[in-house]
């Protein structure tokens, strides 16, 4: 799966790393895999690493994902997205606008800034799967 994840119960943070090309079907696969792995339906924080990926999801697909089935992400207080490409950043900001007011989403270019905003203490192996 091009999106790997791990839920850290101690810090209440869902860590997700994407690589390669991400399509709509990958998002559906991720939802199913998180459910199967027992990731809680509500989490404290989420960190998504989208650096270096190709996003093959159109804006209309993003809207459809929000309307069909479970949420793309389990509801979190804060979601930090790492992005280094303009299209990924734009799509993330569009997704941010679709969130409820109690779910803060921000885009970052550095891991340190994302952790500081989340208020989560980083660990060396967080993004190593």
Q: What is the pLDDT of residues 108-117, one digit of tens each?
A: 999 999 999 9
Question: Quick one: CATH architecture of 3-118?
Answer: 2-Layer Sandwich (3.30)
| Extents of the domains making up the chain | 3-118
pLDDT of residue 49: 97
DSSP code for 109: S
CA–CA dist 15, 48 (Å, integer): 6
pLDDT of residue 99: 81
Closest CA to 69 of 22, 28, 99: 28
CA–CA dist 52, 106 (Å, integer): 18
84 pLDDT band, cuts 50/70/90, is: very high
19 pLDDT band, cuts 50/70/90, is: very high
* Ramachandran region, residue 20 (left: φ > 0; alpha: ψ -120 to 50; beta: rest): left
Q: What is the pLDDT of residues 23-62, one digit of tens each?
A: 888 988 998 999 999 999 888 999 999 999 998 888 777 7
């Amino acid at each position: 799966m091009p999106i790997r994840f791990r839920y850290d119960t101690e810090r209440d943070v869902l860590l997700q790393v994407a690589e390669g090309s991400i399509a709509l079907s990958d998002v559906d696969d991720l939802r199913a895999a998180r459910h199967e792995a027992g990731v809680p339906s509500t989490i404290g924080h989420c960190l998504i690493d989208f650096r270096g990926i190709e996003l093959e999801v159109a804006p209309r697909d993003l809207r459809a994902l929000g309307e069909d089935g479970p949420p793309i992400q389990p509801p979190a207080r804060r979601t930090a997205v790492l992005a280094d490409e303009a299209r990924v950043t734009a799509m993330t900001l569009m997704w941010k606008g679709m969130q409820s007011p109690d779910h803060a989403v921000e885009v970052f270019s550095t891991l340190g800034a994302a952790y500081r905003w989340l208020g989560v203490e980083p660990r060396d192996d967080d993004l190593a799967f």
